[in-house]
Amino acid sequence: MSLAPLTSNALAVLEKRYLKRDLQGNIIETPEELFWRVAKNIASADQIYDPDVDLSSIEEDFFHLMASLDFLPNSPTLMNAGRELQQLSACFVLPVGDSMEEIFDAVKHMALIQKSGGGTGFSFSRLRPKNDVVGSTKGVSSGPVSFMSVFDTATETIKQGGTRRGANMGILRVDHPDILEFIQCKDKDHRFSNFNISVAATDEFMEAVGKGKEYPLRNPRTKEIVGYLPAREVFEKMVYYAWKNGDPGIIFIDRINRDNPTPQLGEIESTNPCGEQPLLPYESCNLGSINLSHMAKNGGIDWGKLGSVTERAVHFLDNVIDMNRYTLPQIEEMTKGNRKIGLGVMGFADLLIQLGIPYNHPMAFELGERIMAFIQERGREASYRLALKKGSFPNFERSTLKGKWEAMRNATITTIAPAGTISIIAGTSSGIEPLFALVFVRHVLDGKRLLEINPFFEQVAKAEGFYSESLMKKILETGSLKDLPEVPEKVKRLFVTAHEISPEDHIRMQASFQKYTDNAVSKTVNFPHEATVDDVAKVYLLAYELGCKGVTIYRDRSKEEQVLYKGIATKEEERMEAHKMERRPRARGDVMHGSTRKIKTGCGNLYVTVNEDEEGRLFEIFNQIGKAGGCAASQSEAIGRLVSLALRSGIEATEIVRQLKGISCHMPVWSQEGRILSCSDAIAKAIEWHLREKQRAKVEVKQERRDHHRSIPPPLIEEKISLSIKWNPILQRGACPECGGPLLFEEGCVKCLCGYSDCG
């Protein structure tokens, strides 16, 4: 069998991220060769258990499984199997202990994992609360939120030097004394931009919410109750900030632990960055997705094919565990001890369209439940047969599966992952999400913009006789079919998009799949911009009632700047073009005020002058390198001119810092202010220092005023900083930083159709 046809988007993603390259960056692998590389590598695990096994048939089977696009493993497996790195897992959870040594061990381990392309989840619930005693110094603790900043900064640095963006999940139990600070820690878009955050809600808390009672807060250091909070007020605060900007999400931690297959080994505290994979500390998991859009046959489902793909996919994912190269020995021990796999689905929305079932119809919920029950049953049977041949997972005797099964190869079988990038390769809809758009603009490398139409919609439009280029452009602008009289009502009902589906129906679909999923379900509940806080609260409560293990919501245009919403492609581009036409650098006045800072660099002493205009806005910088000349001096001057042009054109100074900070050269040096990686890094830090001094001066002035007017409540420093610092350029521009195309928000991540994701 040869490779199934690939879309232009699939080819672009494969070429950009997956295919092997030589030292000069030239692609030296075809997509077909990629699938053979992965198939051969993963099949070789069978030789560990049977040295005489015929690998050729297994290799061919695994190749067909992927080359047909019926199943694809998670991205690290496609990227790294059969290559030097050989890191094949996407999901990791690391413990964060309540000591400085344990905290920074976790930071180090996170760096190693993210360097290899993995995402990391953390619970900060073990850390003692803010202002609690620190025994070694007799001082006070700064609390878990402050230490999250260390992880966030480290991830930012790793992203700048790596090929795959790092991503984190940060979780805090709702009964931790610092829970209110945690809930609002992402109130400003620039804070914790490398974290998704979720509150771990207990049954005790949810019951108190229902009854309108208080619930206890417990110091994790002493395990003692240290206070009480009104549950409904805390719940309302969680809901408000989720409504405001999408964070925090919520996970139902007691429900997750009731499904923990190895409770004797410890409690599950956290999940991976997108929330679908709860794991014990030091566990990792490898995921894969079945392409449901390939399972339609004669107006129904080809159950025989689905069963066959399920069984082969379980074999494949189990082999990945043995072929994986683990970053830490603790991770290898935990992962091989439980052998968890996460088999899920993609293309569900496309399957429904082929069957003529609207996404928000009761039949769709029933079908989702039936499909997942079938996959779970066949997956467990496949795992059982593997266990009879290769042995059960080592912790089987201590698991809750003992007594239900004679043997079992894997502690968990099923997970519904986002499948964002692999669904692009497969040319299908992502995970169990509905269609986000029927028509969109694809940005190609030469700057051209091509109109792309959902293939099923295009097929129906032509068959029904209402297809036209002008109509497709109209759909692109409006983002909906509902106000287009030329589109038949039955087509409008079938091709319903994410924002036309009620939040309650989003949750019902998630619950349908969760009922027969071992781990959890990645799903974003989309809200229209005009949704109320109470609308979000109802969905959170419904999710708990229906048995979901967590909720991620996103209200349209709730971020500081919109990522993508219905009909935005054309209008947003027009607005941006108009803005570009209006932008002109500000003229320079005769007098400027600023500061000059001397910084030691590998090229010599660098003097950076930062000037402000009469309104106190950063206006320009001048750089001069001591006695150096030639290339170093010219590059320094060039950076200064470009930075000045950007400042005069209205670009945020903090965004300039973000671009320059962390750039390395071959001669880093240490200074009184820390390590200086290059002249670019020094310039960024000089601007940063200027901003910090300016902010400190403002705070001192305001403090003097507060001392004079004691009746005025002191504003939060974070609120003042937010006026000038906006760290997330993706949200500001509303365009992909790699291809310039429109972005969307799904499963807690900002994504692009080109394959870019801020979650890796």
DSSP string, 284-333: EEEEEEEEGGG-EETTEE-HHHHHHHHHHHHHHHHHHHHH---SSHHHHH
Secondary structure E strands in 429-546: 439-443, 449-453, 524-527
Which DSSP letter does residue 14 get? I
What is the rounded radius of gyration, in angstroms, for the C-alpha atoms of the chain? Answer: 27
Rounded to whole angstroms, the Cα distance separating 693 from 699 reads 10
Q: Compute CA distances 306 → 301, 377, 410, whole Å.
A: 8, 12, 20
Residue 693 has what pLDDT?
A: 80
Q: How many helices (H) and strands (E) does the chain have?
A: 27, 27
Largest CA distance in the chain: 86
Rounded to whole angstroms, the Cα distance separating 385 from 339 reads 15
Beta-ladder partners of 435: none
- For residue range 371-384, list pLDDT tens digits in order: 999 999 999 999 99
* pLDDT band, very low/low/confident/very high, at 760 (cuts 50, 70, 90): low
- According to DSSP, the β-strands at 749-752 and 743-746 are antiparallel
Q: Compute CA distances 300 → 303, 490, 501, whole Å.
A: 9, 19, 24
Start-to-end CA span in the chain (Å): 31
Rounded to whole angstroms, the Cα distance separating 739 from 17 reads 13
Residue 336 main-chain phi, psi, to 5 deg: -75, -20
Rounded to whole angstroms, the Cα distance separating 73 from 114 reads 19
How many residues in the chain? 760
Q: Compute CA distances 469 → 7, 255, 456, 565, 569, whole Å.
A: 21, 50, 16, 21, 16
8-87+272-426 and 91-271 share one CATH topology? yes
Contact assessment for residue 343 and residue 375, using Cβ atoms and an 8 Å cutoff: yes
CA 286 remoteness from chain centre: 16
Report the CATH architecture of 8-87+272-426: Alpha-Beta Barrel (3.20)
**Most confident stretch, 187-191, 216-220, 580-584:** 216-220
pLDDT at 420 exceeding the cut of 70: yes
Can you tell me the mean pLDDT for 111-124? 92
pLDDT at 561 exceeding the cut of 60: no
Beta-ladder partners of 122: 94, 170
* pLDDT band, very low/low/confident/very high, at 741 (cuts 50, 70, 90): low
Burial 290-326 (b: 16+ CB within 10 A, else e): bbbbbbbeeeebeeeebbebbbbbbbbbbbbbbbbeb
Can you tell me the mean pLDDT for 532-549? 97
DSSP for 681-748, please give it.
HHHHHHHHHHHHHHHHHHHHHHHHHHHH-TTSPPPPHHHHHTTT----HHHHH-B-TTT--BEEEETT
- For residue range 130-170, list pLDDT tens digits in order: 999 887 666 889 999 999 999 999 988 886 444 456 689 99
Contact assessment for residue 164 and residue 175, using Cβ atoms and an 8 Å cutoff: no
Rounded to whole angstroms, the Cα distance separating 717 from 698 reads 10
Can you tell me the mean pLDDT for 674-695? 84
Residue 449 has what pLDDT?
A: 63
Residue 745 has what pLDDT?
A: 62
Q: Compute CA distances 82 → 35, 55, 463, whole Å.
A: 10, 15, 45
Q: Compute CA distances 751 → 75, 479, 634, 702, 735, whole Å.
A: 15, 18, 38, 41, 10
Residue 669 has what pLDDT?
A: 79
Q: CB-side exposure of 694: number of CA atoms within 13 Å?
A: 21
Residue 580 has what pLDDT?
A: 43
Residue 718 has what pLDDT?
A: 29
Beta-ladder partners of 515: none
- pLDDT over 70, % of the chain: 84
Can you tell me the mean pLDDT for 749-753? 68
Q: What rounded mean pLDDT belongs to the chain?
A: 86
Domain 91-271 has CATH 3.90.1150.10: no
pLDDT at 437 exceeding the cut of 70: yes
For the chain, the domains span 8-87+272-426, 91-271, 593-725
Can you tell me the mean pLDDT for 382-389? 98
Could you tell me the pTM of the whole model?
0.78
* More confident of the two residues 663 and 258: 258
CA 3 remoteness from chain centre: 30
| Residues 6 or more apart in contact with residue 256 via CB below 8 angstroms | 268, 271, 278, 520, 549, 550
pLDDT at 367 exceeding the cut of 90: yes
Can you tell me the mean pLDDT for 332-356? 98
**Among the listed ranges 89-103, 163-177, 264-278, which one has the minimum average pLDDT value?**
163-177
Can you tell me the mean pLDDT for 412-417? 97
Residue 719 has what pLDDT?
A: 28
Structure tokens at 42: 């993963």
Residue 582 has what pLDDT?
A: 47
Q: Compute CA distances 191 → 145, 246, 653, whole Å.
A: 11, 13, 16
Active site residues: 272, 274, 276
